[in-house]
Structure 1
Amino acid sequence: MEGREQQAKAAEVAREAQAKRDEERLEYEKQFALIAAVGTGAATSETQQLALGQAKVLSHIVSERRGKHHGSDNAFTFDVTRSLPIAYAVLPSPVPLARLPVRIVCVRSHVFVLAFVFAFAFVFVFVFQIVFAFAFAFAFAFAFAFVLTFAFVLAFTFIFADWRSSSGHRRAAAELQRISGGGVP
């Protein structure tokens, strides 16, 4: 009889713990969806401010969970971050992104990078052509091809990152609508 009571009590404790974990998971999903809304442009200014505050708090919570616990807690954190497609949501720099267990791709400065690369390529090729065009025609052709190849590869890389980012934002918006019951907060 005592064994059955202990089993029943253990089962009840396990159910309560599972219910608490489910509640925490739902809260995490809501917070992540709210943060993702900032990247999608679906959030209002008030929602954005709230999301930024939650992002800071959430980053510390996740950091503490990952640092103090192992096993099931790590799996729980991984499941939560995997359940929402916000891997490419662009968050403002004040948020400690390194503490979030998600992969962030920031492409905000790609325009300046591309401008610098193409300006460097133009100046390099122009000067090289004036000074060494006749004596080093082969070297000029090689350098020209190298610089242009590098520039196009870099451009393709950032264009691809932009595509991945916008794709992630669309998925985040869909997930946000699913969690909020079809509406946008």
Structure 2
Amino acid sequence: MIGIIDYGMGNLKSIRKAMEYLNYPVKMITRPEEIQKMSGLILPGVGAFPKAMENLIRNGFVEAIKYAIDQGKPFLGICLGMQLLFEVGYEDQKASGLGFLSGEVKRLKGGVKIPHMGWNRIYCKVEHPLWQGLSKEPYMYFVHSYALSEMTDDVIATTIYGEEIPVAVARENIMGVQFHPEKSGDEGLRILKNFGEMV
């Protein structure tokens, strides 16, 4: 069973529908104690970084998520859910993130239109199970104003939007994508299928 963490922020229904379409059993997680019953976890997210962290803390999810990750359960952060994996975010105000990966989340720069909204080609820098069966440089759908601010050892894909920006990360069982695979057609669904196979 794959748990989709419902902390009051995110397009949960579209992710749930995508996973059900792929025939993976999913459950919407509203209480931290439910997390331990799941074999894998998805942390979606749309909105502001500080508010998201406030909600996760208030609902008791942070320690439960950390425990599940320490147990080796596959974990996928999507959009804001990827950003929350890092140490610090600077949206509206400086706020601590989950800190599972090193890095800071900052506003996009390079003289580009913000938010970044639409289809962009991604460049997979590292072979990873998430990319199994994808075309060489697939297009994915983005809606965001902030991103991981620098290339780290955990970056597995980038895109070009004014400059090269990281859009996917992975370390062991922790994974994150800045784009929306559930809105990215067949190739986005393939990424979710690959995650489901890991679970």
> Could you state the TM-score of these two structures normalised by the residue count of structure 2?
0.27
Higher relative contact order (CA 8 A, sep 6+): 1
Q: Name the one with the larger helix percent.
A: 1
Structure holding more strand per residue: 2
TM-score, normalised to structure 1's length? 0.28
